[in-house]
Structure 1
Amino acid sequence: MTATLAHLGAGLSPAALLAVEQPTGVAGWWLRERGATFSEPHDQYFMFIFWLCAFFFVLLMSLSTYFWWRYRRVEGVPTQRSPAHNIALELTWTIIPTMLLAVIFVWGLRLYLNLHVAPAGAEQVNVTARKWQWSFTYDNGGTPTETMPFADVQIPVIAVPAGRPIKLLMQSEDVIHSCFIPAFRTKLDVFPYRYTTMWFQALPLAEGEEQREHWLFCAEYCGDNHSKMYAKIRVLPPEKYEQWKKDLANPYKGRSLVQVGQLLYAARGCVQCHSVDGSTKIGPSWKDMWGRTERLQDGSTVVVDENYIRESILNPSAKIVQGFPNQMVSYQGQLSEKDILAIIAYIKSISEKGHGALTPEETQVQDESADKGAG
């Protein structure tokens, strides 16, 4: 992990990051660290096939070399006639490989079914994939807002309990993605207009270990920023996880609308397409956006206010700013009205014309009894 943290600002791709995290020397020849209960049986199955292939490779290459030397053409020695068939030999090379393939098939099928059929009582987490961000919703309606910087993007951080099964119910809002957690030995495609599920159970923490972190990647090419579509999975003790999830249910508690809007900007994937420093990304920068007059693709103009921002979030194709692609997906049903107001408040706070438009309700910290806003 120390090596990983040292490379966080280096702009490494997931493949490069995995190379950094791999152990060196002989240990680097084998599989990565194990993070879930499925990891060990997966590794045993993989290594069985690996050594079986290695054994037969050495055997066949050795026999080929021997036969090449033993039956080479020698001047003055007549060529021997090859036998037409050998029943014992033919049965041997048919029955033994068939038995080995049957073992591989049955063993693999059992592992596949165990991986895709979650145990009863597994906690469900809804996963939504979109270009180029993962979002997660827990059974209490909470959505993680914590992010961490990696290269030039903010990636979401989610928590799971150690020693308890978690079921992921996954869907995509645009193209095909793939949820890949190397340490858990799990990878499954995520499709639009269709649900896919997989589950895992993180290994218990060692004595004195407060938490453990693993990477989650998109393993299906999905566009320009595919290599930046990842997340961090934080394994917590069950009691700390329950408290974390309880706090997650109300992100407005102890925060102002501006602060929640900043969290949503990172957690909901806005950061992937909109900058807050004036630089150009896939979409218009939020810096000084409030009150700005934008020219649209049809030649008309619009002033950025509450109505325009709300419409752009719920129906992003309605008014496309000139010079930018019509690529944003709708957040209809994913953000509550209070969430939208929080994003509006945040855009005001980073706009020169927006400072004077901020209201006390947008800047004051919510009290302990604040209503839950994410939904």
Structure 2
Amino acid sequence: MKAAVLRQTRQPLSIEEVRIDKPRSREVLIRTAAVGLCHSDLHFIDGTYPAALPFIPGHEAAGIVEQVGPEVRTVKPGDHVITCLSVFCGHCEHCVTGHLSRCISGETKRATDDEPRLSHADKPVTQLLGLSAFAEQMLVHEHACVAVRRDMPLDRAALIGCAVMTGYGAVTHTSNVRPGDTVAVIGCGGIGLSVINGALIAGAGRIIAVDRLPGKLAMARAFGATDTIDASQGDAVAQVQELTAGGVHHSFEAIGLKATVEQAWRMLRRGGTANVIGMIPPGVNIELRGTDFLAEKRIQGSLMGSNRFTVDMPRLVDLYLQGRLHLDQMISQRIALAQINEGFAELQRGELARSVIVFDGVG
């Protein structure tokens, strides 16, 4: 199969022929239909987050099941599926207490002495995040995908696999936004827009979008923001506090920078909660004013929207088909696998919400 392989960090991906194995026991072979380009992939491509080279990135995908292993019970050939990097074992402490996204069990991977799922010239190729979706096929554990209704367009379904699940889940699961609550969102890329859309669905009373690009602020309005703040023009924290008479109930940081995390904290009212979604580079420390804790303010991380994706993603599909989840507007362009490096260059410039790779003849 053709796949986009990274052999050296900070270098372009190369399109290569990679061998993919047949599914064993609880594994599922999926024909990839579409995969989104996410900024999280860039963190691995540029080496900010380490991974064994060579590897195939990509984790925001949808496709059609081609084959299943003998012990698979959750999907069957022909099913349309969305994949998720929150692969779970189903029986560890995190799983049995309902925190599937926290599972770190190694049993969802092949053993080191087994034949690898992916290889090139008889040498292993690392399967990044258990998916490696920038490829014509994916071979994954059955708990890394969920079947969805077949009338859902697969290019839009792919977005649910990361950006939408992460943003919507941060609102509904991690921070439990209630009707009438005030919300601030820092960073209006794919995840930030999904936070805004999720806050709208949750009934938030005021949704304030913060970004530096006018185009993204315009998109934020279309996704449900009631107010927008250009962070390049003055103090964003002071503007949020002025709009809300002292601060918001919930803030969401969707960039992963020290400065914006600290802004998310300072935007809170008494009793408010700051949610850090962005991937902060390793070694970066965050500074918070200690006296703020006396006001019962909280700061917490959100991992993939604290999801239970096998339940959440089919519901998100329903929300899209009801017209309540805005996916069409999120896709800035559809490209071929061969254009992946150009797509990432545009992502780094920060001008687009989402580029989606679409594979010919699938879906």
Both proteins in one fold, TM over 0.5:
no
TM-score category (smaller protein): under 0.3
**Does 1 or 2 have the higher relative contact order (CA < 8 Å, sep 6+)?**
2
Rg bigger for which structure? 1
Q: Which is richer in helix? A: 1
TM-score of the superposed pair, with normalisation by structure 1: 0.24
| Larger proportion of strand | 2
Q: What's the TM-score once normalised by structure 2's chain length?
A: 0.25
